[in-house]
Amino acid sequence: AFFANLVMRMRETSPGLAIAAFGGAIIFAISGALSYGTDFAFTDTPASGKISSIMSPSTAQVLNYINSDVSYALVCAGLGVFFLAAGTWLFPSGARPASSSVLSRVWSVLTILTGLAATSVFLGFAAFIGIGVWVLVMSVTLTLAGDETA
Other C-beta atoms closer than 10 Å to the C-beta of 18 total 20
The predicted model gives 49-75 an average pLDDT of 80
Angle between helices 2-13 and 71-90 (to 10 degrees): 40
pLDDT tens digit sequence for 131-149: 999 999 888 888 877 655 4
pLDDT reported for residue 150: 42
Would you say the pTM of this structure is higher than 0.75?
yes
Q: Which residue(s) pair with 51 in the sheet?
A: 48
Handedness of CA 10, 14, 19, 23 (dihedral sign): negative
pLDDT reported for residue 28: 94
Q: Nearest 5°: phi and psi at 42? A: -70, -10
